[in-house]
Amino acid sequence: MRHSKNNKFYYIICFLLLFTFLTKTSQVTYANEKEASSVTFQYERYISEGRYDLARQWLVRHHQTLMNSAKNEQVKNQNVIRDLIFENIDHVTKTEVPKNQKLQKAMSLVIAVNTLENQNNSIWLNSKESLENSVLAVLSKNNVSENELIKIETHWQMLQPTYQIILDDDQYEELKATYNRILHIEEETDKENLQAVFRETQLIDVINPAVEGNYVSFYWMIFIVGGIIIVTLAYVAFKKYKGEKKKKQKQHIS
């Protein structure tokens, strides 16, 4: 009986240690995501201040932190983040690249990394809403200025990587084709149809795979911990049954 109690105590300790490990792993992942967000905000700040050499040094030093934030993502999303990092590193110190383009690429990185962490972050939602409102305003006009189209194109290019992350391939290609038509709106003969198509793209369910991945990890943790509890209790019950059976056999013999 004493042996059974020791086994029970041993398995409870193992369960607690495993649960602690899984919880700590989850906390480390969350901390890495927060650290990645801080890296992008600091990088964008250096760009805003015109400190391009420092911005490049900062991004080179911390690029692995940003890659780690995407390591549990789909390969497609990892590639998007990697490409954004190296595009920024390549462009940030080039004198021929104007400041507004450097800021655009920096903001692309900020929004994409923060959306990996949380698809409901205010930067992404506000930027997305602003772009959609600009498009709807243009589609409702008879005459569209070149400046308005340039503004939409710049905004679209800034958000394009994030759309690529949160949409599946077919949805992304559909949205990309729609924006291509909008940017060549002067060639459109049926603007009402284009407006209807664009409104349909607004209804696309933008679920962030990163969030889905977090839910999957959470359910796996519950499944593993629950399985350990069931196995532990079953083993303890079995040992208790065997112990009682041996005890009855000894009593019967004596």
Query: SS3 letters for the chain?
Result: CHHHHHHHHHHHHHHHHHHHHHHHHHHHHHHHHHHHHHHHHHHHHHHHCCCHHHHHHHHHHHHHHHHHHCCCCCHHHHHHHHHHHHHHHHHCCCCCCCHHHHHHHHHHHHHHHHHHHCCCCHHHHHHHHHHHHHHHHHHCCCCCCHHHHHHHHHHHHHHHHHHHHHCCHHHHHHHHHHHHHHHCHHHCCCHHHHHHHHHHHHCCCCCCHHHHHHHHHHHHHHHHHHHHHHHHHHHHHHHHHHHHHHHHHHHHHC
Q: Going by C-beta distance under 8 Å and a sequence separation of 6 or more, which residues neighbour residue 82?
A: 67, 70
Residue 184 has a pLDDT of: 87
pTM recorded for the entire structure: 0.67
Identify the pLDDT of residue 145.
87
Binning pLDDT at 50, 70 and 90, where does residue 238 land? low
Percent of all residues in the chain with a pLDDT value above 90, rounded to a whole number: 33
122-165 pLDDT, tens digit each: 888 888 889 888 888 888 888 888 898 899 999 999 999 999 99
pLDDT band, residue 74 (cuts 50/70/90): confident
Angle at 193 between CA 147 and CA 183, to 5 degrees: 25
Residue 28: the pLDDT is 40
Query: Mean of the pLDDT values across residues 37-54?
Result: 93
- Any idea where the domains of the chain sit in the sequence? 7-94, 118-209
Evaluate whether 85 touches 66 at the Cβ level (below 8 Å): yes
- For 252, the token pair is 């019967």
> What rounded mean pLDDT belongs to the chain?
77
CB 107 within 8 A of CB 44: yes
pLDDT digits (tens, 9 = 90+) for 87-119: 999 999 999 999 999 999 999 999 999 988 888
Q: Which residue has the higher pLDDT, 224 or 233?
A: 233
Please give the structure tokens belonging to residue 189: 């003969």
